[in-house]
Amino acid sequence: DLNRHAIRPSRSLGLLYDHRNDKAKLAKLVILESKVFRDIVEMEKSSLVKRSRKLFTLSAFYNACADLIHGIASGNLVEDANLAREYWESVAKHFPSWGQVKEGRLAASEVREGFIHSHGITLQALGKAGNSLLTSKVKNWKKRLEGLESTDWSRSNAQLWEGRAMIAGKISKQNTSITLTANVIKKAYGLKLSEDAEKVEVAFNAKDA
């Protein structure tokens, strides 16, 4: 029907029915097997309406998973999906509101309006930081995730997020914003920034000097 009527589907819908893209298959498998994410990821639309009961879109989760396993994928879909799911579910434990949305005890719109951690930019930043964590070969990497709880994720925390994850109070989707947000998470994980990430951080701090 989409082809016949020349309708361009959303990116999420395209990924949902793309059976040749290994990264898309991995993201979908993680969601399907996850007790948390299968209920909070919108599978067909690439944007969320205010009344949506979901927190993330498939396209955002796809990007986050791709960044997470970049350079460390074994090529075995099940093994890679298990590793990704282990990371994401471990991360979710440090964001109780995600579970409250899943259980219907908290409105998704309320969480998205109040916090940075429930937007695609942060999901992708978590994927980038997770990749650094997993490739660092640190012992008991799950313990490092506790640093997420010491971060103030409120959108009202303009001192931290303005110019980094937000521009003029609105969530930014720029690649630089993803890197700057990932830098905050990497520091929360107790990781050193890569040379490229450090350059972005220095440039950001120079603007405020």
Q: What is the pLDDT along the chain (209 residues), one digit of tens a residue?
A: 444 444 455 554 454 545 566 788 899 899 999 999 999 999 888 788 888 999 999 889 999 999 999 999 998 989 999 999 999 999 999 999 999 999 999 999 999 999 999 999 999 999 999 999 999 988 899 999 999 999 999 999 999 999 999 999 999 999 999 999 999 999 999 999 999 999 999 999 987 65
> What's residue 24's pLDDT?
84
CA angle 161, 39, 33 (to 5 degrees): 105
SS3 content of the chain, % helix, strand, coil (to 5): 60, 5, 35
The phi and psi torsions of 22 (rounded to 5 degrees) equal -65, -35
Is 181:172 a contact under the CB 8 Å cutoff? no
> What's residue 20's pLDDT?
63
Alpha helices in 49-174 (DSSP H): 58-69, 77-92, 96-102, 108-114, 120-135, 141-144, 158-161
Is 46:57 a contact under the CB 8 Å cutoff? yes
The phi and psi torsions of 117 (rounded to 5 degrees) equal -70, -5
> What's residue 207's pLDDT?
76
> What's residue 1's pLDDT?
45
The phi and psi torsions of 101 (rounded to 5 degrees) equal -65, -45
> What's residue 19's pLDDT?
54
pTM, entire model: 0.89
DSSP state of 162: B
> What's residue 172's pLDDT?
93
> What's residue 123's pLDDT?
96
